[in-house]
Every structure is written in C-alpha cells, then in structure tokens.
Structure 1
Amino acid sequence: MTSTAAPLDLLLLPTWLVPVEPAGVVLKEHGLGIRDGCIAFIGPRAAAMKLAADEVRELPGMLLSPGLINAHGHAAMSLFRGLADDLPLMTWLEKHIWPAEAKWVDEAFVRDGTNLAIAEQLKGGITCFSDMYFYPKVASDCVHSSGMRAQIAMPILDFPIPGASSADEALRQGIELFGDLKHHPRIKITFGPHAPYTVCDANLEKIRVIAEELDAAIHMHVHETAFEVQQAVEQTGERPLARLARLGLLGPRFQAVHMTQISEDDLALLVESNTSVIHCPESNLKLASGFCPVERLWQAGVNVAIGTDGAASNNDLDLLGETRTAAMLAKAVAGSATALDAHRALRMATLNGARAMGLESQIGSLEVGKAADMVAFDLSGLAQQPIYDPVSQLIYATGRDCVKHLWVAGKQLLDDRQLTRMDEQQLTATAIAWGQRISGHSE
C-alpha cells in the first residue's frame, strides 16, 4: 500500500481509524502514514511499525477521521455572534443584520472576523469550510495564511454590497479572483448568488454562463423558509427551485443551501440534476425556518452535506455538534429511529461535503493518495465510556473539546488543542474590541 522509496514524514498510530470510505468501517490498531502532504500508507499496526518514518506519533484512546467539512457559512459574521437573537429570518436580516453590515463591514472587519472563525473551526475539528461573504479576496488571504482549506463564494445580489457596487462588479471580481487562485492547492473560488429573492433572472443567467465557462460551482440559499417559497409562487406562479432549473443552474456543481421546503417536484429536480443540498439544522431551528427532510433526500440518492451557517444565526461554528443535531433531527422528521445513523452522519460531515464542493478526489475520506486532512478526537474521557462503537460515541457523546490534533495537507494546525499558526489570545482580544465598538461601548 506504500512505496518503500522515501521514509514517511509522519506515522500516526491511533486506537481507531475511521476512513469513511469504505462506508461503516472502523479499523482498530492500524497506522496511517503521510508523505508530502498526502496519505501514503494505511495498514495494520504491525506492518506500519516496519516502515521508516521521520516521526512516529502514538494516539492512544483517539479516533482518527477525515477532517470535518463545514459546507456553508459566513465566516466574518462571527463578529456579529449574538447581536440579534431570537428573531425570524426576514426581521433578523432586514432590521438588524443588513443595517449592521452596512455600518460595520469593511476589509478589517472581514479579516478579523474570518480569522476568528478559522481559529474556532480548527479547534472544532474542521479542516475545510465554505464561506460566502463580502470582500472574498480578504477571506482568501486569511485562509492562505492559516493553512486551512476553503471554498470561497463571491456573493452576488441585485443591489450594492460592501466591496461591490453592483452585481456586474461582483461578477467581475469573482472572475478575477477565480483566475488568481485557480492553481491554489487549498482554496477554491465559486459564485454565490445570495438567494432567489435577491437575484433576478438576468443576473442568474450571467452567473450560469460564467460558471459553465470556468467549470466553477454555484453556492446559493434556496428554499430557506416556507414564506420564501410561498411569496415566489404568489408573485410568479413558480417555485424558486423550478425557476433555477428553468434557468439551467441546477446540476452537480450547484450547492442548494437550506432546502427546508421540498415537494415531490422539487425532489425530482434535485435527483435528476444531481444537485447537492447543504443542510444547516441549527440555524434553521433557531430562525424557525423549517426542517430539511434529510432521510428522504438520502434515500432518493441526493448528496446531502452539512453546514453551520454563520455564527450570527447559529451561534457557534461547531460542526460536530451540528452533525449530532442533524442526526437527531433526521430521526424526528422521518419518524424513524434508524434515519441518519452515526456512520452516515459522519459521512455527511466529511465525504459528502467534499463531494458537494467537487473535492471528493482530494479530501473527505482517509484513502491512500488523498490529501492528509485529518482530525484526532480523544475518546478516552469519562463521558465516552464504555466504547462499543467509537463512531456512535463520537456523534452522540462527544463535544468539540475532545478535538486533540488536526492536520491539513499533512501540516499540523492544532497540536494538543493548541493552534500552531494562530495567536488565540490576540484573536480573542480583537473580537472583544469589535464587540465593544459595535455595541457602542467604545468608539
């Protein structure tokens, strides 16, 4: 399973290794070897111990899995965490979030908010995230410096936004950024029309043409609430997803975020087009937006990934907690205790996210040849005992404080819960200072 040529850069020896692909497998007493940022060996411990390695690390009581993939969020909004809680979506947006963004969002806000989000996500076991927010070039710079992996979506709306005076200007910036970063090993640029109710047909057509030419993904909030769908039907006689299908946007490169409202016709469109759905259960619960029927989608063959959404509507970027909520909610919505079992929930938080982003050949599972994006969860604590199925314990009994180590492309970004490239105290102080400014306690 490995060439005997050069020694491994790192050999990891966890108690459990969960590759995610093949599905449902837990390897006990196995080793994983990394060379040049990629997985070069997976095999029994006895075979692993015979290999030459520059560094060997024992991970007793730990479960090694692919890094978690947060398939939807607005990273810089971490600076608005808790700003406008307990409100319905449109009130939250129109009366609170949009005015706050108009007042506060600039390049410094996006830089500081994105760095805060990156640090929180790394500490929670997330190795790759999708971001859809203003000044995407600034966010890309933050991702580049941090060593993390990300999909950055250029937000496009029919009206001016921070950093872009029009939809055409946003598109132009998106094309430029796509060109600048198309060979970046860890950053992928996509196009992010905000939602069906904020982007007209003409702009959606432009986005479709450009995305097809560049082979770029499209990331969009769709069917987030019943009100959105009902309003569209009243105004145009057409459901938003049907409109997107008519305009030719749906397909394997399209990421439909939220999808709490799914009719039989909607389901048929998703299946037929091979569109991915990004499920954000906690944000949908908190804003009372509705429930995405995950089990129904899964059984129909739709690729369902998972996202936290932004910290302003969640309020944490905790994908492990999100996955637990998703598993519980799927059972309640389907009326079946067997819906979205622990192993499938972990797959949703890893390989399905990679597939939604078109990155499944590089990340999302522990397989020889893939990038070494991995997380070690410590299951040795009191609250995880006894362990019958380590994946069940991970999903149902483990919090993100059990994330011990994390690697992206073989580089360790979290070592014994300490960030290796970011200054946690500085990030905390910066966030506190922003909070004081925004709340008016200092200027």
Structure 2
Amino acid sequence: MTADTIIAADIRINARWLIPVEPFGEVLEDQAVLLLGDRIEAIVSQREADQSYRAREVINLPNHVVLPGLINMHGHAAMSLFRGLADDLPLMTWLNDHIWPAEGRFVSERFIADGTQLAMAEMLRTGTTCFSDMYFFPEIAAQMARDAGMRAQVCFPLMEMPTAWGSGPDEYLAKGEALLREWRDDPWVRIAIGPHAPYTVADNTLERAVTLQQSSGAALQIHLHETAFEVEEALRQTGQRPIARMQALGVLNAHSQCVHMTTLDDNDMAMVASSGTHIIHCPESNLKLASGFCPVHALQKAGTNVAIGTDGAASNNDLDLFGELSTAAMLAKAVSGDAAALGAHEALAMATINGARALGRSHELGSLKPGKQADLIAVDLSDPFLQPVYDPASHLVYSNHGRQVSHSWIAGVPQVQDGRLTRIDVPDLMLRVSDWHQRIAGADRPAS
C-alpha cells in the first residue's frame, strides 16, 4: 500500500448492519460509512476501509444498525408544551374547551421557541433528523431549527381567521412571502405554504396560495379529509368532496403534501395518484382522536408516494417516529386485510426516502449513498428485549423504540452521541418547560 492510494475521511463509522434504503430491501453487514465534510464519501466493507481509507475519527458500532436519519413529515412542534393536557376527549371538546383556549392564552414567540426546542430534543433523541412543522410564528421555529443544526420544512399558517401571528390571509401571505425570500437558499430550513384545511381556508385564499407556490417553487402542505365528518359537512354544504375542490383549485400537484387522508374512495385515490400529490400518514394521532384510517396499502398500489408524520404531541402523545412506523405497519395490515401489507422495509422507506421525495430532496436526503448528505443514525440492538436479531429491518419496525438510537449526525455533525444530545442544553430546557407546565395547568379549566 502506498500513500497515494489512501483516501482521507473525517469520520469512519463501522456498523454491524447497514440499511441504505436504496437499493430497496437491502441489509448489509460489517460495513464502514465514510463521511467527508457534510457528505457521505463512501460505503464499503470494513476490510476495504482498512486498506483504502484513513479517518481522523473512528466510531465502532458492533451491535448497531445504521440507516438514514428519519424524516417526520407533519407536526406542530411547539404543541409539545400541551402534551397530555386534555386526553381521552372527543375532538371538538378537546379543541373547544382546552386546546384553542390554551393557544389563545399562551402562544407567543417565547412559547414557540421553547416548545419547538422541546420537540427537537425528543425527535433528535429518537432518530429524526428532518421534520416538517406547521404552526404559529414560523420564523421562530425556523430559527430554532437552524440554531440546532436540524433540517426542517417550516410551513407558514394560512387561514381566514385572525391568530396570534396575523390578522388574516393578506397578512399571512405577506409574511410568508418574506419568509420564502429570507430562507431561500438555506441548506437546513425550507419554508413551505401551510393552508390549514379546506374548512378554514376560502377558495380565493387557496388560489393565492397555489399562485405563490407556482411562482416560488415552494411546497404546500394542507390537512385534508382528516375525518368523515369533514367530508360529510362539505358534501352537505357544497355538494362536493373536499379533495375534488382541491383538485379544481390546483392544490393537488407534485409539490403538495396532503395530511391525514382518512376518508377516501376510489375516485379520491385516483385524483391523488394522477396529480402526483404526496400523502402524509399520521396513524397514531388519527387513532387517538378517532379520526379514521388512511388506506395506505391501496394508495401505494395506486402509485402514490406516502410518507409519515407524528402530528403534534398534543394529539399523539409522542414524537417517536419508530413507534409511528410500528403502528402504521400493523394498521395497514388490519385495514387492508393483508398481513403482507406495508412490510418492514416499506415502513422504513416511508420515514426516509418517501419523506425526502415529498420534500423534493430525494437527490440529497433519505438514503445512504455516496454524495448524499451525511444525515444518518445508529440504533443499538444489543438489549435483551431485542434479542435474537434475525432481521434488523423487522426489529426496527416491530421491536424497537426510538430511545435505542445511540448516535445521530446531520450534515456530518454529531447530534446524538451515546444517547446524549450534543447541541441542546437539556437541564436549562427542562426548567423552562416546568415553568410552562405550571402556567398552563393552572389556567386549564374544563367546562362545567
């Protein structure tokens, strides 16, 4: 071996198992992942790495599986501060008597900053490296993500009624356009357009959102067909299903993401498939609020890209995407009546490459390939409750918990090392969360 045959790298990760996601269904053993700067330099056998590479840091993970960082495609990050506030209630009671009053009292720039940081701490600790957020004061959420070095799609809110962030559509769109300009070239944060739902956004406002989408190239994310009640009310009031209205207004397109989609017929699914629209599945939130079941298997068979999200911690009640995958896989089997529906590798794809496709970033995120961004995680499979390991992919989906994530890198920068967060001051954060807890609990008064 001569000096000129040696290739330099910053970090070498020796993994017992590696799931690259692309090619689909592949599990490699005894591999080395070489990181150089913010990119993956190479993925080779450990023997080849010994011969051809030298890294300034070597990390040995003899009981771990390494895979791409997870992408949580829908949530309301700051609502982590409402986690468990009012559980086991019907949706409208939960909203009218607890969540909306609490938002009216407490949502502010400081609330968004602390709540978003709490959400990021949980997501990073459980394997998420990129998340999509839709909530108030998006400029604060974007800055919190950037400061933490976490990737995010931040959707600015858009609806007809006034909120703490703005007086109505004109102000929301003006602020949103400014955010799109400000964050245009940022490698961590992308701004997206976030019309709340068909029943809170008028046709004219949706048309303006689509026009902005077309002129800016931004993604658009909307809650759609969340419940059967939503669809029934739309039919009663307009004679039209919400998804047909969205198609007529141009909302359904290859840069749009529709969240929930629990009440779909064959015609609805055909519209989605033909438009190239992405679906974001939130199984645990849908179950907890009795919202219904997204027909994931049928959508995938129709050729639709389905990614996954947790929704907010107020309606989940956690942001552990591995738990969401387990629920999604088992729910898909029950809904379709097919035990082979949404297998382990398909579930992992939903939380990685499918999310990257929905973001329009599959060329740089969502799988482990040389040249892609060095966003990856390691999961420790050595615990007794994970033994024996016949199939690492199956274990990740059906047996694992996000707390088994031991390491995480975003753009080659360590975010979790040996289970500890590197860039968030957890003790200081917990003091702020405790203060919010006391204030919110003291103000929450159930209706008599």
What TM-score do you get using the length of structure 2 for normalisation?
A: 0.97
SS at match of 2:442: coil
Residue in 1 that maps onto 2:420:
418
Q: Which residue of the partner structure matches residue 437 of structure 2?
A: 435
Find the residue that maps to 1:29 and give its secondary structure: strand
Ranges in structure 2 where 5+ consecutive residues have no aligned partner:
none
Correspondences of 1:58-207 after superposition (within 5 Å): 58-207=60-209
> In structure 1, the residue corresponding to 2:43 is in which secondary structure?
strand
Question: Over residues 136-163 of structure 1, what are the superposed CA-to-partner deviations in whole Å (9 max), with x where a residue is unaligned?
Answer: 0000110011011100000101011111
Counterpart for residue 8 of structure 2: 7
Deviations 1:296-318 (A, max 9, x none): 11111110000000000001011
The answer for unaligned runs of 5 or more in structure 1 is none
Residue by residue over 1:253-311, the C-alpha shift from the partner in whole angstroms, topping out at 9 and shown as x without a partner, is: 11000000111110110010010000000000000000001111111111000000000
**Residue-pair matches, total:** 440
Take 2:349 and 2:54, find their aligned partners in 1: how far apart are those partners? 32
Is the partner of 1:321 in helix, strand or coil?
helix
Amino acid in the other structure paired with 2:43? I
1:16 correspondence with 2:37: no
- Measured against aligned partners, the alpha-carbon deviations of 1:44-69 in whole angstroms (never above 9, x if no partner) come to 11111220211111111000000011
> One-letter code of the match for 2:265?
S
* Residue 6 of structure 1: how far off its partner (Å): 5.8
Task: Decide which moves more: 424-433 or 36-45.
Answer: 424-433
Query: Secondary structure in 1 aligned to 2:253?
Result: coil
Deviation at 1:358, TM superposition (A): 1.0
How much does 1:335 deviate? Answer: 0.6
SS of match in other structure, 2:287: helix
Which range is displaced more, 273-282 or 353-362? 353-362
C-alpha deviation, 1:28, in angstroms: 0.4
Q: Distance in 1 between matches of 2:167 and 2:6?
A: 55
SS in 1 for 2:55: coil
- Is the Cα contact below 8 Å between 2:68 and 2:352 reproduced in 1? yes
The structural deviation recorded for 1:91 is: 2.6
1:349-387, Cα deviation, whole Å (9 max, x unpaired): 111111111111111000111101101000011111111
- Equivalences for residues 16-415 of structure 1 within 5 A: 16-50=17-51, 51-415=53-417
Over 3 Å counting, the alpha-carbon distance change for 1:6 and 1:43 in structure 2 is: closer
Please state how far the C-alpha of 1:115 moved relative to its aligned partner: 0.4
CA distance in 1, matches of 2:400, 2:249: 43
Separation in 2, partners of 1:253, 1:264: 22
Q: Counterpart of 1:30 in 2: which secondary structure?
A: strand
Output the CA distance in 2 between the equivalents of 1:358 and 1:90: 34
Closer, same or farther: CA 4–366 of 1 in aligned 2, 3 Å? farther
Residue type at the aligned position of 1:35: L
Give the CA RMSD over aligned residues: 1.3
Counterpart AA for 1:292: C
Which amino acid counterpart does residue 52 of structure 1 have in structure 2?
R
Q: Work out the CA distance in 1 between the residues paired with 2:95 and 2:153.
A: 24
3-state SS of 1:315 partner: coil
Between 433-442 and 178-187, the greater mean CA deviation after superposition: 433-442
Give the residue type in structure 2 aligned to 1:243.
R
Contact 2:386/2:395 (8 A) holds in 1? yes
Q: Label 1:5 to 1:160 Cα distance change in 2 as closer, same or farther (>3 A).
A: farther
Distance 2:5 2:132 in 1: 37
TM-score (norm 1): 0.98
Quote how far apart the aligned CAs of 1:88 are: 2.4
Cα shift at 1:89: 2.3
In percent, how many aligned pairs have the same letter? Answer: 52
- Stretches (4+) displaced over 6 A: none
* Superposed displacement of residue 92, structure 1: 2.0
Query: Is the partner of 2:99 in helix, strand or coil?
Result: helix
Is this contact kept in 1: 2:41–2:371, CA < 8 A? yes
Secondary structure of 2:23's partner? coil
What secondary structure does 2:415 align onto? strand
CA distance in 2, matches of 1:6, 1:409: 20
CA distance in 2, matches of 1:62, 1:4: 29
The aligned amino acid for 1:195 is: A
- Which whole-Å CA distance do the structure 1 matches of 2:348 and 2:443 have between them? 42
Contact between 2:113 and 2:141, CA under 8 Å: does it hold in 1?
Answer: yes
SS in 1 for 2:56: coil
Instruction: For residue 54 of structure 1, give the secondary structure of its aligned residue in structure 2.
Output: strand
2:6–2:54: 8 Å Cα contact kept in structure 1?
no
- What amino acid sits opposite 1:146 in the alignment? A
The CA distance in 2 between the partners of 1:58 and 1:398, in whole Å, is: 21
Q: Per-residue displacement from partner, 1:80-129 (whole Å, max 9, x unpaired)?
A: 11112112223322332122111110000000000000001000100000
The whole-number CA distance in structure 1 between the counterparts of 2:159 and 2:90 is 21
SS at match of 2:186: coil
- 3-state SS, counterpart of residue 53 of structure 1: strand
C-alpha contact (below 8 Å) 2:65/2:380 kept by paired residues: yes
